[in-house]
């Protein structure tokens, strides 16, 4: 799905807005399927109560099962997750309408007509422009066909006058009102995403400006080679202290090589890693990516700030170490890189004492940015971390 980056001042905004939408789209997909599952149970109950017949019950339940399986398949496939969830959203919207229409055709009564509005309520969870147009169009077309196909079910008792025209007019007005309501809600949601993306953009640009000013003022540049040597010393002693094999050395070498080698050469040299794993590690590279430096600066400003709950605008901040798709070893490596970064004097960030590092991770928004398992490892071993720094990194700090 091609992004329309030309409608934003900075192209990066669309990418970040898409990542925000993906996080919410995952939740909406889960909520939608939960409602469909509940609806399937209710429909099964009433079909059994009505003694609808085995063929009707089985065919209806098969439609529900197929819809849920399609959703599960698209949700489970991580490649291009955003577009996969968008596609399954449109399939699901049409799917529930097909199920509702099939039920109305099997039981042509006025009470079954409400299944269309129940279906609309479930599909409105997505709050998406295209899904809204698809849902409203399906509601109007299905409603019109049913009114024309079964006009007698809408006749008022005691009169022979046809009510078809008035019901069609009511349906048109009703769909227009629903469309306006959905449009307003979606516009508000889009505005919210845009605001968060712009906040993110401003934050990154301000930090980049701070880095540039610091470089001009001090005339110093980050010595990444020296930093990686410090990181190797720390990871070696950490592995020794907690009694595990040193699994960091190879990854630190990979970090160093990513800066100078092409991705094809990296894949040849580090055959034990896949392209996805290399791309995960690449974000921790210091001089080109700068992501870890930015996180370090942001962490240094978080000291002393108490955060008792997750901020409502938390999506506008760095997600840092809680990327859903990252492997556990990537989370551990990224935390060690981050910790070592905080313990070394740099042109843009002075060394932090252990108490300050602990305070940042416990009492600031970083408590919500780091995987809970990683936080627990650090809390159980923070004195060990500090001892390693004091005993083995004095010559390189």
> Tens digits of per-residue pLDDT, 42-52?
888 888 888 88
Tell me: the pLDDT tens digits for 286-308?
A: 777 777 777 777 777 666 655 55
CA distance 290 to 211: 10
Output the pLDDT for position 313: 43
Buried b (16+ CB within 10 A) or exposed e, 172-205: eeebeebbeebeeebeeeeeebbebbbebbeebe
Residue 317 has a pLDDT of: 40
Q: What angle do CA 50, 56, 171 make, to 5 degrees?
A: 80
Question: What pLDDT does residue 66 have?
Answer: 92
Q: Is the pLDDT of residue 58 over 80?
A: yes
Residue 311: pLDDT band by 50, 70, 90 thresholds?
very low
Tell me phi and psi for residue 321, to 5 degrees: -105, 20
**Integer Cα distance of 319 and 315 in angstroms:** 8
On the CB side of 203, CA atoms within 13 Å amount to: 19
Lowest-confidence region among 82-86, 131-135, 181-185, 387-391: 387-391
């Amino acid at each position: 799905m091609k992004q329309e980056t030309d409608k934003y001042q900075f192209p990066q905004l669309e990418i970040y807005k898409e990542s925000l939408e993906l996080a919410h789209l995952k939740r909406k997909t889960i909520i939608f399927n939960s409602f469909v599952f509940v609806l399937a149970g209710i429909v099964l109950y009433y079909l059994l109560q009505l003694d609808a017949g085995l063929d009707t019950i089985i065919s209806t339940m098969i439609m529900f099962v197929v819809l849920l399986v399609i959703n599960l398949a698209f949700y489970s496939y991580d490649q291009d997750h955003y577009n996969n969830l968008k596609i399954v959203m449109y399939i699901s919207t049409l799917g529930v309408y097909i199920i509702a229409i099939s039920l109305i055709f099997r039981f042509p009564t006025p009470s079954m007509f409400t299944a269309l509005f129940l279906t609309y309520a479930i599909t409105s969870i997505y709050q998406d422009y295209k899904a809204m147009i698809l849902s409203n169009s399906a509601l109007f077309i299905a409603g019109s066909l049913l009114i024309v196909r079964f006009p007698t079910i809408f006749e008022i008792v005691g009169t022979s006058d046809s009510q078809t025209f008035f019901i069609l007019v009511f349906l048109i007005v009703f769909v227009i009102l629903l469309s306006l309501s959905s449009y307003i809600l979606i516009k508000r949601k889009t505005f919210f995403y845009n605001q968060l993306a712009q906040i993110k953009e401003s934050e990154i640009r301000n930090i980049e400006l701070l880095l540039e000013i610091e470089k001009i003022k001090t005339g110093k540049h980050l010595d990444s080679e020296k930093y990686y040597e410090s990181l190797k010393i720390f990871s070696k002693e950490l592995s020794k202290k907690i009694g595990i094999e040193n699994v960091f050395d190879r990854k630190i070498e990979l970090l160093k090589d990513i800066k100078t080698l092409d991705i094809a050469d990296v894949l040849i040299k580090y055959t034990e890693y896949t392209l996805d794993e290399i791309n995960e590690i690449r974000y921790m590279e210091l001089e080109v990516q700068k992501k870890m430096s930015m996180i370090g600066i942001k962490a240094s400003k978080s000291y002393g700030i108490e955060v008792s709950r997750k901020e409502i605008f938390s999506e506008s901040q760095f997600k840092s170490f809680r990327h859903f798709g990252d492997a556990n070893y990537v989370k551990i490596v990224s935390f060690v890189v981050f910790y070592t970064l905080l313990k070394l004097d740099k042109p843009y960030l002075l060394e932090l004492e252990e108490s300050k590092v602990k305070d940042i991770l416990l009492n600031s928004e970083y408590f919500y940015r780091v995987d809970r398992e990683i936080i627990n490892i650090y809390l159980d071993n923070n004195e060990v971390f500090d001892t390693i720094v004091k005993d083995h990194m004095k010559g390189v700090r």
